[in-house]
Structure 1
Amino acid sequence: MLRIIFLGTGGSLPTRNRNPSAVMVNREGELILFDCGEGTQQQMMRAKTGMMSLSSIFVSHFHADHFLGIPGLIQTMSFMGRKEPLMIYGPEGTGEFTELFKALGYFNLKYEVRGIQLKPGDIVEGSEYVIRALKTEHSIPSLGYALVENPRPGRFNRERAIELGIAPGPLFAKLQKGSPVEVNGRFVKPEDVMGALRPGRTVVYSGDTRPCESVLEASRGADVLIHDGSFADEMADWAQESKHSTAGEVAALAKEADVKKLILTHISSRYTDDAEPILTDSKKIFENVIVAEDLMEIEIPYIKE
């Protein structure tokens, strides 16, 4: 399972229908949060995601709309009896901000919260996936992130295995796990009966940024690119000045990177009642695009072979 839940899709200012930035990934039951704006824990309750399986928070940058939800969330999990450590990753200043989160109010956390500063190119190892930190272009130190699953084993050729004298059963499983087996005095290797490795899935989260080369390269062939799409193209000058992106700019990046699906988020409050201009400008260039909405969920399937 690889599910993305959009808990907050608004820009710098919350609106009546968009919370500040927060995107959750549920990978095989492990919850990973990218940014955690104000009100994120309530959105988690509304979406029924749970909290206690949250392993880590990846903060793109320390503008308030991307981190103000962290203090309340970590205290709520402490009230609920959490014991497992929580990792908070982010750019320059992450260690100091994490200590502030822990010290806020007269409250003693009952579990470890650890802040870890990343720089572009750093890799965080997960269970059968990695998260890579990406250089982004915003007005303060910032990062994007690419969640990249490990390659999957190739398909098992049952007929070939039987031809080689292997009886269905435990030896099949041993070969599928990568170990050779002995049959009639000779060894059969996994590569004799297994197809080529199959790619895992890739999800890229830009955070707030101008379109940039590092996000482009990380997004090549990605299953999903979640990108700052703050403005319609008519606001190009302001997007450049404020270090955000327009829908058309992001669509051009997605097209060049050949991503499978583009999802625009961090939608400016000026589009509170109608985000159609953003969608229209993007679709002129890249067809498979969605403007995210709060509590929207999508499943990311494996590529059909």
Structure 2
Amino acid sequence: MRVTFLGTSGAIPTTQRNTSSIFVNREGDYHLFDCGEGTQRQMMRYGTGFAVDHLFVTHLHGDHVLGIPGLLQTFDFNDREEPVAIHTPAGTRGNVKQLIEANGTTPSYPVRINEVSAGDTVLDRPEYEIRAIATDHRCASVGYVLAEDDRKGEFDREKAEEELGIPPGPKYSKLHRGEPVEHDGRTIEPEEVVGPARPGRTFVYTGDTLPTESVVEASEGADLLVHDATFAEDRKERAKATAHSTAKEAADVARQAGVRTLALTHVSTRYAGQAEKLAGEARERFDGEAFVAEDGMERHVQFPDGE
């Protein structure tokens, strides 16, 4: 799973940071989370490509959605025929539709606008799902969790071949699928040669939010949590008034949830050139890895067992 940070600024772009957007490549499935103004250029600049079928919107503030019309128009210019699904918080479908049609045209390919609420399974795939989670901002908002299914346990080939005398072949595959096999007059059960199931990976993106228990619960054990960290502690009251989080508050969420890695994003322009201040404050509260996301940064999310 590869995460590319396309836009990491809060509210308005800067010369170094574009507005909010994250591209996730999950084993060849391409997903876009938020689409601030200029996202399509960031996609070209950082080489993600445009093969996106699902766009997950956290809320409708401009710095998270104003890139949608341009991106859809680019799809049109590229003769796209495949449908696109835009997932957006409950009650905002009409606003998204108006945004898409603001220039008086509609895409030539199908665009499906899907309203989602916290707790919904937004996308269900054979090996993973994407769920909407509750966040706390100044408007209808959600965050998203991409959670992979458990993987098969490791197959003990040495035991199968040397202790049980099973030669390599179809029986190995059946055992690894969880099916017993007959060999030398006895039944070999899968658990004799297959270890316990191994956890998949979990990616969490909050969008804009105050620190909330719902995010803590949804992020439990996550491999990568991308959390709103608009302000440092010197603007804690401002963060509360605007329904954002400070870096320390994001770190508290990460610590309580036991996540492996915390990425701080949606950085206020007041910290231009001082982003490390946010990371330093987060590290005071969180013992895991914490960093401030930068535009163009790629993050490979490893499995919990390091494979």
Separation in 2 of the partners of 1:55 and 1:183?
47
Separation in 2 of the partners of 1:110 and 1:187?
58
Separation in 2 of the partners of 1:291 and 1:251?
12
**Which residue is equivalent to 1:74?**
72
Separation in 1 of the partners of 2:126 and 2:70?
27
Residue segments in structure 2 that go unaligned for 5+ positions in a row: none
**Which residue is equivalent to 1:177?**
177
**Which residue is equivalent to 2:18?**
19
Q: Deviations over 1:43-102 (max 9, x none)?
A: 0000111112x1211100011110111111112112212222211112123422342244
**Which residue is equivalent to 1:140?**
139
**Which residue is equivalent to 2:245?**
245
Separation in 1 of the partners of 2:106 and 2:204?
35
TM-score (norm 2): 0.94
Which 4+ stretches in 1 moved above 6 angstroms?
A: none
1:22-37 to 2 correspondences below 5 Å: 22-37=21-36
Separation in 1 of the partners of 2:174 and 2:102?
52
1:83-122 to 2 correspondences below 5 Å: 83-122=81-120
Counterpart contact for 2:46–2:296, Cα < 8 Å? yes
Q: Deviations over 1:95-140 (max 9, x none)?
A: 2234224423344423211111111111121241111111111000
Deviates more, 1:130-139 or 1:174-183: 174-183
Separation in 1 of the partners of 2:178 and 2:99?
45
Separation in 2 of the partners of 1:135 and 1:108?
31
- 1:283 paired with 2:283, answer yes
**1:206 offset after TM fit, Å?**
0.7
The AA in structure 2 aligned to 1:276 is E
- Figure out how many residues of one structure are paired with residues of the other and give that number: 303
1:218-297 to 2 correspondences below 5 Å: 218-287=218-287, 288-297=289-298
Residue segments in structure 1 that go unaligned for 5+ positions in a row: none
Separation in 2 of the partners of 1:98 and 1:113?
11
Counterpart contact for 1:88–1:94, Cα < 8 Å? no
Counterpart contact for 1:139–1:243, Cα < 8 Å? yes
Separation in 1 of the partners of 2:166 and 2:43?
49
TM-score (norm 1): 0.94
Q: What is the DSSP-based 3-state SS (H/G/I as helix, E as strand, rest coil) of the residue aligned with 2:59? A: coil
Deviates more, 1:99-108 or 1:293-302: 99-108
Deviates more, 1:175-184 or 1:21-30: 175-184
**Which residue is equivalent to 1:42?**
41
**1:185 offset after TM fit, Å?**
4.5
Q: What is the DSSP-based 3-state SS (H/G/I as helix, E as strand, rest coil) of the residue aligned with 2:53? A: strand
Q: CA RMSD in A?
A: 1.6
